[in-house]
Amino acid sequence: MTLGTDGTLYQPYENVFTAVNSDGSIKWSFDAQFPIATHHEGWTSTIHIIAQTPSNMTHYLLNAWDGNILWQRSSFDAGDCDLTNVLLLISGGTTYLVCKDSGVVRIEAIRVTDFGSEIDLWSRTLPGTEIDLAPDGGVLVRAVASGTNQHSLTALDPETGAVKWSREMDRFSGWALSKGDIFVSPTRCQSGCDQSGRHPPTPTYHKDVLRLSGENGSTLWNASCGAVKRHSSDQGPISGHNGEVYVHVSDMDYRILAFDSSGNTSWTLPCTASCPECYLQHATHHNDSTTEDIFVSQQIYLENLTDVSVCSGTTGRLLWNTSIAGHDLVTNIGPDGTILASDYLNGQAVAIRQGDEAWRARSFSQALMAPDGTAYLQHGKSGRYGVLSIDAVDTNGVHKWSRQWSPDLWV
């Protein structure tokens, strides 16, 4: 389930792809004949869909207004790429179809013209475990050097797929883009690195933040996060909307360090969390044309209580803190700042607004929040015996409409 730039809700179910209007009516539907692996909204009002046939991956480009096919093409052989390993990366008119499997990435790059036609750019296969877009519209690929703590980051040229630059560094995961450059946060072992003995020592690590040139990969600056006891390479830096970069530090109750664009430590956010994934980031656009980075953190307690905190990354201030009944996993932040959480202990969706509980509804497996305050709550799952449904509720939690998909019923 994804939300288009025009407010259209897109929902794949097995081989059927449905576009739903904001009032719940069906805009159009498309039958790909085979299971849909992934989809992505393209430019010039198009939708990319990848379906897995018995022999290959079929790439469809649809008109987003009526669902008509603009073109289709065969891509990876089905035996070479599992359904769950396919992803689409789109930068302007360039589309990268990626198969990521067993430490190898296969990439097909095509260009979509203003008239919807396709131009083959390049394809290549290289070692990699992580891939995403680069500042210049090409791609960045992270690979792991077998048996070492060294990782590599490689930038591919968007026009030719040639290696633009590549460099090795200490172990890291993920990266952030800002002002044409790349931010990574590698961790290197300082002591207790040999874990082969019967009673190995507790290792200690040192965590850094590097700003790499998007043009040639050189280090523009290197800032220290200090010593840490955990590898903490499970989440990369987060780019701010004003040039800042934010980094989780596990030894500080997963607090976030904020660095300005020059690499100076600006402040430590007062929010704490149970894990690095227990944060969400959101940009608030103010009437004076300024933008503020907002972070939401959570700590779940055994006594059926969850602490939710909201901090400003831009100023380093705690905006508010509240305790909500239940074990609430914060999943979404709406454009108006409403926070949506899934209380998995009580099977409910919880909306929090300015520190107060706004409404509760039936729990969900996935959720989206639209600019008008509508929350789309998905229930169930696809599959031979699965039933999938979507409930739309307004900004006050009032039910607006529901839709259901199942193998033998589509309402």
Question: For residue 306, what is the enclosing H or E element?
Answer: strand 305-312
Q: Architecture of 128-192+203-239 per CATH?
A: Beta Barrel (2.40)
Q: What is the pLDDT of residues 85-107, one digit of tens each?
A: 889 999 988 999 999 888 899 99
Distance (Å, rounded) from C-alpha 395 to C-alpha 31? 33
- Torsion sign (Cα): 96, 101, 104, 106: negative
Q: Is the pTM of this model over 0.75?
A: yes
Among residues of the chain, what percentage have pLDDT more than 70?
90
Residue 196 has pLDDT above 70, yes or no: no
Distance (Å, rounded) from C-alpha 14 to C-alpha 29? 13
End-to-end CA distance of the chain: 17
For the chain, the structural domain boundaries read: 32-126, 128-192+203-239
pLDDT for res 411: 42
Distances (CA, A) of 123 to 46, 98, 281: 22, 10, 34
Provide the pLDDT confidence category of residue 147 given band limits of 50, 70 and 90. low
Structure tokens at 388: 């999938």
What is the overall mean pLDDT for the chain?
86
Q: Let me know if the fold of 32-126 is the same as that of 128-192+203-239.
A: yes
Select 32-126's CATH number: 3.40.50.300, 2.40.10.480, 3.90.550.10, 3.40.50.2300. Answer: 2.40.10.480
The length of the chain in residues reads 411
Provide the pLDDT confidence category of residue 343 given band limits of 50, 70 and 90. confident
Q: Can you list the pairs that 188-194 forms with residues at least 24 positions away whose Cβ atoms lie under 8 Å?
A: 188/149, 189/149, 190/227
Do 178 and 243 touch, CB atoms closer than 8 A? yes
Over residues 13-17, mean pLDDT:
92
Count CA atoms within 13 Å of residue 300 on its CB side.
Answer: 16
Q: What is the pLDDT of residues 31-65, one digit of tens each?
A: 999 999 999 998 788 999 999 888 888 999 999 99
